[in-house]
Structure 1
Amino acid sequence: MTEMNAGAAHGLRIGVDNPAAGQQRAHPMTDHSTSRAGYAYALTAFTLWGVIPLFFKALIPIDSIDIVAHRVLWAVPPLALLLWARGRLGEVKAALANPKVRWTLLLTACLIAVNWLVYILGVNSGHVLATSLGYYLNPLINVLIGRFLLSEHLSRLQWSALGLAAIGIAILAAGSTFTDLWITLTLGFSFGFYGYFRKKVDVGAAPGLLLETIILAPLTILWLTSLRDMGDPLWGPSGWHTFLLAISGVVTALPLLLFTEGARRLPLSTIGILQFLAPTMQFAMGVFLFGELFTSARALAFAFIWAAISLYVMALVRQARERKPS
């Protein structure tokens, strides 16, 4: 899933964002219309995440930490406005009143900040292929976390998928630079553990992301006003860069909103399959648009990862069929 921001991992928890989701869907026409709208929302979200490298490439030569700092600050207003318009600011207040939620969101804020920073560093330093592989791996890392931290049972297909993914990573480690491996594993594991800890608190995707950006805001303000290279323009070298920085918050919030709306209307297994659209688009851009070198080692590693993903998708479909009422 692309750089698939904050709420994506948590956004699959449909009941948190909309407790009534999935109910009152007896009428066939209504069900069909809801499904069509779900596909439209989800595909638009994943497409936007898929092309987001173009946005960050356009911000070069601004320092990556500066981009993350602006992104955090400019994400607060649209998220707050969205929650106010939906009458959900009460969820934010409730979360703040709970010490466990506050500490957990402090941890997830750090994880998503690392994820965002490494992603932007990867994209703007010419390692889009490594970033796409990180998000290909993320669902498999989630399976691994579920097995060893949540004691979830794994099917043979899931174990086979993990085995193939491990072979792919080993090939990547042997035939690629340390930078590629570091970016891939940091993105995959930071987002995997982000999702793991977010599932431990009953906070919806958008409220959680708003609180995470608010938690990070003081540090980003300190960075922008005191710690960065003050010789560089705060708003970039041109008016175009200033405009892009100003809309970076909307770029963060809009795909999240669309993703959440799609997740409410579609089965989780469908969302699990659609999520591979974004890293696939990024992979294609890395090879055909940005001209990154697709070595034989990378090709073999990606082949094993894609084989692992195929088994993962087969496991999703099988589980969905088993759960479907006769």
Structure 2
Amino acid sequence: MPDETSSRRAGLAYGIGAYALWGAMPVYFLQMRPAGPFEIVGWRILFSLVFCALLIVATRSWQRLRAVLHDRRAALLFGLAGALVYINWTIYVGATTTGHVVEAALGYFINPIVTVLLGVVVLRERLRPGQWAAVAVSAIAVVVLGVEGGTPPLISLGLAFSFGLYGLVKKRAGARVDPLSGLTLETVWLAPVAVVQLLVLGLGSGLAFGTAGWYPSLMLASAGVGTAVPLLLFASSTRRLPLSVAGFLQYLAPILQFATGVFLLHEPMSPGRWAGFALVWTALVLLVGETLLHGGLRRRAAPVPIA
């Protein structure tokens, strides 16, 4: 029991560390200015690949990576996952560097609802009444935010659906692929795109890396570590924590991002925007409450094991 308790404490610490780092990403990306979103994403891909390669060498994980490369289906799925994470990164970095941190946070608030909806559409799962209620309230929130802003919250929806589909593809790829091999393969697929992207930028408006001073260049070079470390902390956390605890921790990142946008960067929050967020938070309360209730009912209905 003491070993299990210490393992859960470590898992909780790893989880908080991962989501706290993800929550601080808006401030992190702002330190890379004057680099634009496409340059930041390009360097993020390349330096993530370099960092993953160093970790694989240090941990002697070539065999696991080779096994994934020999699995044609898994390799193709991680190519698709790489395309989705590229879309997600580009939208997120673009949002956080152009004054839309609050809208980006909204995307990760509604991501659990989108994941539930994708389960219905793609996996043909059947929702319980409480889950349908959460989806309905979220849809009303999107309408309210669209009316208030004049257009639908496209940044939020883009982030939620790209990350939701990314999780779905990773699930299809299977749990047998460890996070380090998965991230390495995704960045291998994206590396040619990043190189072309950076070459086009270099020939056009020019690159900030190496020309805008040592601090932005250092921040850009650290993008590999900044990408891989939270992911590895997250993987270590999920191995040690019950799914219910890990599910609650996921809300830490958008809470921190929302606080950063409102209180640190002073992004405007009109009454209509507060109303939309209140509806989203209501939907999350419904979803979490329904999940806890259903889990409790299932535990009470389970047969008592014979000693």
TM-score, normalised on structure 2?
0.92
**Residues 1:120 and 2:96 are matched in the alignment:** no
Q: 2:289 aligns with which of 308, 314, 317?
A: 314
Within-5 A mapping of 1:91-110:
91-110=64-83
2:7 and 2:189 map into 1 onto residues whose CA distance is: 36
* Post-superposition offset of 1:83: 3.4
Structure 2 residue corresponding to 1:161, chosen from 116, 119, 134: 134
Shifted more, 294-303 versus 225-234: the winner is: 225-234
Deviations 1:248-287 (A, max 9, x none): 1000001011111111110111111110011011101111
Secondary structure of 1:200's counterpart equals helix
Q: Which residue of 1 aligns with 2:228?
A: 253
**How big is each residue's C-alpha offset from its partner over 1:193-224, in whole Å with a ceiling of 9 and x where there is no partner?**
11111111122322111101111111211222
Residue 270 (1) aligns with residue 245 (2) = yes
Aligned partner (choices 194, 206, 213) of residue 187 of structure 2: 213
Shift of 1:230: 4.0
User: In the alignment, what sits opposite 2:149?
Assistant: 176
Normalization by structure 1: what TM-score?
0.87
Alpha-carbon contact 1:109-1:213 (below 8 Å) kept: yes
Q: Percent identity?
A: 36
Matching of residues 22-61 of structure 1 within 5 Å:
28-61=1-34
1:15 corresponding residue in structure 2: none
Alpha-carbon contact 1:272-1:316 (below 8 Å) kept:
no
Q: Compute the displacement of 1:154 (Å).
A: 1.5
- Structure 1: state its 5+ residue gaps: 1-27
3-state secondary structure, aligned to 1:62: coil
SS at match of 1:199: helix
Counterpart residue identity of residue 86, structure 2:
A
1:66 maps onto 2:42 in alignment = no
Deviations 1:2-28 (A, max 9, x none): xxxxxxxxxxxxxxxxxxxxxxxxxx1
1:185 is aligned, of 130, 137, 157, to 157
Aligned twin of 1:204? 178
1:145 maps to what in 2? 118
Structure 1 stretch 204-213 or stretch 299-308: which is displaced more? 204-213
Cα distance in structure 1, aligned partners of 2:112 and 2:236:
21
User: 1:269 touches 1:320 (CA, 8 Å); kept in 2?
Assistant: no
Among residues 274, 277, 281, which one is paired with 2:256 in the alignment? Answer: 281
| 1:22 corresponds to | none
SS of the residue corresponding to residue 164 of structure 1 reads: helix
- Residue identity in the other structure for 1:88: S
Cα shift at 1:31: 1.2
Paired amino acid for 2:290: A
Q: How far 1:228 sits from its partner (Å)? A: 4.3
Q: CA deviation at 1:98?
A: 2.1
Q: Is contact 2:110–2:160 with CA below 8 Å preserved after alignment?
A: yes
CA displacement at 1:77 relative to structure 2: 2.2
* Preserved CA contact (<8 Å) 2:201 2:207: no
1:169 positional shift: 0.6
| Structure 2 CA distance for partners of 1:228 and 1:40, relative to 1, 3 Å | same
Matched, 1:304 2:242: no
Aligned match for 1:82, one of 17, 31, 55: 55
Deviation of 1:30 after TM superposition, in Å, equals 1.0
| Count of equivalent residues | 298
Change (3 A) 1:244 1:313: same
- Take 2:134 and 2:203, find their aligned partners in 1: how far apart are those partners? 45
| Deviation at residue 227 of structure 1 after TM alignment | 4.8
